[in-house]
């Protein structure tokens, strides 16, 4: 029996090493964590193109919750998060910086409902599944506000992204706040969209973040990562069909589904990143709006100072 427990412990220990590396991780390597989302898939395209060296490790986790926790525990040097998730970590006391805007959701984050629900007001008395992250809370806040509903009018179930499709398919929930590829998969099961991030423009922004000390210590690798993202965007422009093929295969969805999903996502290039990240740039207003929403939802104890959040040095070279 002791041998059995020891073997189980050894299995999980080795599995954790393969995912995150040992505690004395190579200080010439950075680990970049993300969950599955078309807005982050360009990093994997950059790797496919040979733009990312072996010492930039891309680590795919099951959910944004997992990415945030791994970043908290310093098992990741770089994390792909939404702006509101990044702000939540800052409010916890983590000295991080946003150094690249990956995408702006313009329809990619969605509320999927059952066929008999046609209006947001009809969610009254219904069960909504969502991930209990800042992003999930933000979308929930906007859905309820737009529908004239209060949080007491609905039943909420916390579901990480990898749990959502199963819950929807089995009828455990009436509505689901989600994103691609689960959004498309839910619609294939009869779900329909009655609210998405196009209703709240420039609010859901996906970014790459790192601790200030990481940006200083791994300046060259961070720059290589940013340049790789830029090269991937250029390749999508010049070789879209081949790019979609590579990304869709890795995400295990069809090229047509990925192409449709990407219609709801805007990918800023380096020039636009300069405008977004510079002092008093376009994202400052977004942060101020998110400060209000996150504070009122008790997701942050105090507002985040926007002028300390951004580092535009890697997009200005």
| Percent of the chain predicted with pLDDT > 90 | 69
pTM attached to this predicted model: 0.81
Per-residue pLDDT, averaged over 164-182, amounts to 93
Q: Which tokens go with 107?
A: 């329809």
Q: How far apart (Å, rounded) are the C-alpha atoms in residues 164 and 182?
A: 8
Picking from 199, 234, 253, the residue at the C-terminal end of a domain is 199
| 211-to-66, 75, 196 alpha-carbon distances in Å | 17, 12, 31
pLDDT score recorded for residue 26: 55
Residues 173, 208 share a domain: no
Q: How far apart (Å, rounded) are the C-alpha atoms in residues 32 and 271?
A: 23
Residues 294, 223 share a domain: yes
Phi, psi (degrees; rounded to nearest 5) at 308? -100, -5
Residues 222, 189 share a domain: no
pLDDT, the chain, mean: 89
Residues 193, 207 share a domain: no
In which domain, by residue range, is 147 found?
109-199
Residues 292, 267 share a domain: yes
Residues 223, 100 share a domain: yes
Lowest mean pLDDT among 9-18, 104-113, 136-145, 217-226: 9-18
Residues 280, 209 share a domain: yes
Q: What is the pLDDT of residues 5-34, one digit of tens each?
A: 444 444 444 444 444 544 344 578 999 999
Picking from 164, 199, 234, the residue at the C-terminal end of a domain is 199
pLDDT score recorded for residue 22: 40
Residues 296, 227 share a domain: yes
51 lies in some domain: yes
pLDDT score recorded for residue 90: 96
Better-predicted residue by pLDDT, 119 or 8: 119
Helix boundaries (H) for the chain: 2-20, 41-48, 64-72, 83-91, 134-146, 161-169, 182-188, 212-217, 219-238, 240-251, 255-262, 270-277, 282-296
Residues 75, 52 share a domain: yes
Q: How far apart (Å, rounded) are the C-alpha atoms in residues 104 and 38?
A: 11
Chain-centroid distance of CA 203 in Å reads 13
Phi, psi (degrees; rounded to nearest 5) at 50? 80, 15
9 lies in some domain: no
Q: How far apart (Å, rounded) are the C-alpha atoms in residues 114 and 136?
A: 19
Residues 298, 209 share a domain: yes
pLDDT score recorded for residue 108: 86
Residues 273, 125 share a domain: no
Q: How far apart (Å, rounded) are the C-alpha atoms in residues 275 and 279?
A: 9
177 lies in some domain: yes
pLDDT score recorded for residue 137: 86
Residue whose pair of structure tokens reads 């200083």 in the numeric block: 216
16 lies in some domain: no
Q: Which tokens go with 288?
A: 């101020």
10 lies in some domain: no
| Percent of the chain predicted with pLDDT > 70 | 91
Picking from 184, 199, 214, the residue at the C-terminal end of a domain is 199
Residues 223, 181 share a domain: no
5 lies in some domain: no
Q: What is the pLDDT of residues 33-90, one digit of tens each?
A: 999 999 999 999 999 999 999 999 999 999 899 999 999 999 999 999 999 999 999 9
Q: How many domains does the chain have?
A: 2
Q: How far apart (Å, rounded) are the C-alpha atoms in residues 302 and 224?
A: 34
185 lies in some domain: yes
50 lies in some domain: yes
Report the CATH number that the domain containing residue 253 is assigned in CATH: 3.40.190.10
Q: How far apart (Å, rounded) are the C-alpha atoms in residues 294 and 289?
A: 9
């Amino acid at each position: 029996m002791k041998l059995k427990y020891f073997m189980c412990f050894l299995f999980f220990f080795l599995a954790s090493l393969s995912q995150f590396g040992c505690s004395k991780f190579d200080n010439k390597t950075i680990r970049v964590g993300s969950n599955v989302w078309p807005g982050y898939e360009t990093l994997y395209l950059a790797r496919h193109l040979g733009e990312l060296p072996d010492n930039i490790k891309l680590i795919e986790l099951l959910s944004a919750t997992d990415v945030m926790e791994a970043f908290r525990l310093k098992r990741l040097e770089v994390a792909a998060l939404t702006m509101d998730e990044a702000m939540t970590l800052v409010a916890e006391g983590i000295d991080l910086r946003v150094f690249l805007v990956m995408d702006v959701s313009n329809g990619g984050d969605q509320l999927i409902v059952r066929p008999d629900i046609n209006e947001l007001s009809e969610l009254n008395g219904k069960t909504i599944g969502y991930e209990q992250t800042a992003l999930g809370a933000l979308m929930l806040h906007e859905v309820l506000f737009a529908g004239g509903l209060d949080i007491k009018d609905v039943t909420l179930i916390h579901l990480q992204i990898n749990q959502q499709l199963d819950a929807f398919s089995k009828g455990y929930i009436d509505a689901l706040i989600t994103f691609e590829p689960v959004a498309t998969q839910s619609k294939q099961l009869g779900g329909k969209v009655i609210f998405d991030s196009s209703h709240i423009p420039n609010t859901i922004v996906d970014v790459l973040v790192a601790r200030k000390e990481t940006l200083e210590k791994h300046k060259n690798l961070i720059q290589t990562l940013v340049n790789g993202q830029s090269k991937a965007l250029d390749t999508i422009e010049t070789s879209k069909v081949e790019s979609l093929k590579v990304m869709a295969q890795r995400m295990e969805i069809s090229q047509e589904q990925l192409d449709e999903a990407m219609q709801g996502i805007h990918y800023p290039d380096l020039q636009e990143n300069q405008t977004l990240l510079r002092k008093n740039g376009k994202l400052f207003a977004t942060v101020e709006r998110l400060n209000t929403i996150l504070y009122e939802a008790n997701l942050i104890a105090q507002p985040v100072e926007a002028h300390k959040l951004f580092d535009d040095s890697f997009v200005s070279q």
